[in-house]
């Protein structure tokens, strides 16, 4: 059985401002770094075999905190990048309405098509499932990408949701079956402040 823990990166200033980040390379803010350290501590004493991450800084920094705890090198993979939000990257909703009107979602603003996201997600998953059968892998990525990935893997069993920063979702794979064992868990965030004090 293959077990994968999927983790969304820690928070950034653009998250707080509700700006579309997409593939813009925005770093974690101070709170995001504390969140990354907290999710790293959650894995203390556990045995995992590999850590993969999006190559964008906010995910990579989050993954490196986990790698520090588990004494594992982090493997960057651009297939795990966030969905590209095209022309809307860096904007908030009000700016989008001002620039393109209230029906901006109906326009072609060069946002990456879901089918393209599925292609790179499927390519990554095929590789991981072939390489790590019977092992445990951590994958650090992004909210929209992970939602699409979960939909790809689980179909109608999964409803799109807002994944919290540094939340953990665990999927187990047994032969051709996969099952979500944990979704959007961020209980580790309650430890922020305990270790830093």
**Structural domain boundaries in the chain:** 2-191
Report whether 31 contacts 164 (CB < 8 A).
Answer: no
170-183 mean pLDDT? 94
pLDDT at 111: 97
Q: How many Cβ atoms sit within 10 Å of the Cβ of residue 7?
A: 29
56-80 mean pLDDT? 98
Q: Per the CATH hierarchy, to which homologous superfamily does domain 2-191 belong?
A: Phosphoglycerate mutase-like (3.40.50.1240)
Top-confidence residue, 49 or 191: 49
Active site residues: 9, 82
* H-helix segments, the chain: 13-17, 30-42, 57-70, 93-100, 114-131, 143-154
Whether 196 has a pLDDT exceeding 70, the answer reads: no
Q: Are strands 168-174 and 2-8 parallel, antiparallel or unpaired?
A: antiparallel
Opening angle at CA 47, ends 44 and 49, nearest 5: 125
pLDDT in tens, 129-176: 999 999 999 999 999 999 999 999 999 999 999 999 999 999 999 988
Find tokens 């689980």 and name the residue.
154
pLDDT at 197: 39
């Amino acid at each position: 059985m293959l077990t994968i823990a999927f983790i969304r990166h820690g928070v950034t200033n653009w998250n707080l401002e509700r700006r579309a980040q997409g593939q813009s390379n925005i770093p974690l803010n101070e709170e995001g770094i504390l969140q990354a350290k907290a999710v790293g501590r959650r894995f203390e004493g556990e045995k995992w075999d590999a850590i993969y991450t999006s190559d964008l800084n906010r995910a990579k920094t989050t993954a490196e905190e986990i790698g520090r705890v588990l004494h594992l090198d982090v493997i960057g993979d651009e297939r795990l990048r966030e969905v590209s939000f095209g022309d809307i990257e860096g904007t908030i909703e009000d700016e989008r309405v001002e620039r393109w009107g209230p029906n901006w979602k109906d326009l072609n603003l060069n946002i990456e098509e879901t089918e393209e996201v599925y292609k790179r997600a499927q390519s990554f998953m095929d590789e991981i499932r072939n390489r790590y059968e019977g092992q445990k892998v951590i994958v650090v990525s992004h909210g929209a990408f992970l939602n699409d990935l979960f939909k790809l893997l689980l179909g109608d069993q999964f409803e799109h949701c807002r994944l919290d920063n540094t939340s953990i979702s665990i999927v187990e794979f047994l032969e051709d079956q996969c099952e979500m064992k944990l979704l959007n868990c961020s209980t580790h965030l309650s430890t922020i402040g305990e270790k830093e004090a």
